[in-house]
Amino acid sequence: MPNTYTIGEVAAKMNIPTSTLRYYDNEGLLPFVHRSAGGMRVFRKEDLAWLRLIKCLKATNMPIKDIKAFIDWYMEGDSTLQKRRDMFYERRQAVEDQIKVLQETLDVINYKCWFYDTAVEAGTTAVPKAMRLQDMPEEIRGSKERTDL
């Protein structure tokens, strides 16, 4: 394993376009990345951990400016521990909210899969539409009430 990586190697390894890495650097999200004598970005193994964290925070829909604030707090040191901890509690809540929305979405999709599987098998939508709730599979009953179309 090499001690350093080029921007192209990091892009391939992290599945992040080089343009995104350059954007992150221009926005101040990569203050830890060094430059070669020729001005090329040189990434170390530790930098990949930072990029994984940035990807994680982006996946929570955290704005770039807030990720930058976190990195600034980190660079400031221990005086910002409370702010950084609070930020992660906020991110956890945001992810829990996303999971709830996605679970509700999955419930609707699962219901519709069951509905159309049943309709295709019967040759008509009349069969699943007329089915009593107690005759439906237990795992889709709650979804039916939210998806009656």
Contact partners, residue 112, CB within 8 Å, separation at least 6: 147
CA–CA separation, 55 vs 90, rounded Å?
16
CATH of domain 1-76: 1.10.1660.10
Digitized pLDDT (tens) for each residue of the chain, 149 residues in all? 468 999 999 999 999 999 999 999 999 999 989 998 998 999 999 999 999 999 999 999 999 999 999 999 999 999 999 999 999 999 999 999 999 999 999 999 999 999 999 999 999 999 998 998 888 888 888 776 666 55
Burial classification of residue 108, based on how many CB atoms lie within 10 Å of its CB (0-12 exposed, 13-18 middle, 19 or more buried): middle
CA–CA separation, 109 vs 35, rounded Å?
48
Give the HSE-up count for residue 107: Cα atoms under 13 Å, Cβ half-sphere: 17
Q: Helix 64-76 and helix 81-122: axis angle, to 10°?
A: 150
Q: 69, 56 in Cβ contact below 8 A? A: no
CATH 1.10.1660.10 residue ranges of the chain are 1-76
Q: Specify the pLDDT at position 145.
A: 65
